[in-house]
Amino acid sequence: MAKTQTFQDKNKKKGASDKISVKIVTMNKSNRGTYTFGERFIQVKDLAEVEKAVKG
């Protein structure tokens, strides 16, 4: 049986999100002098909100 639904049809059902996904990478220095990196993804409406998310 052939697949009738296409990827384009699936995207229409989801609707467009007005948020932008941003990856935030943080660096921490330990007492021994080594660096560790942490990363997380956040969704913001405007790139100006990224600064608030990094500090908070």
Quick one: pLDDT at residue 35?
Answer: 97
Give me the pLDDT at residue 18, please.
Answer: 84
Supply the DSSP string of 1-33, one letter for each residue: ------HHHHHHHH-----EEEEEEEEEE-TTS
In this prediction, residue 11 carries a pLDDT of 65
Tell me the whole-structure pTM to 2 decimals. 0.55
- At residue 12, the pLDDT reads 66
Determine the Cα–Cα distance for residues 40 and 21; give it in Å rounded to an integer: 10
Mapped onto helix, strand or coil, the DSSP state of residue 35 is strand
Residue spans per domain, the chain: 17-55
Identify the CA nearest to 53 among candidates 18, 17, 19, 22. 22
Rounded-to-integer distance, Cα 20 and Cα 50, Å: 10
Q: What is the pLDDT along the chain (56 residues), one digit of tens a residue?
A: 566 667 777 666 666 678 889 999 999 999 999 999 999 999 989 888 888 877 76
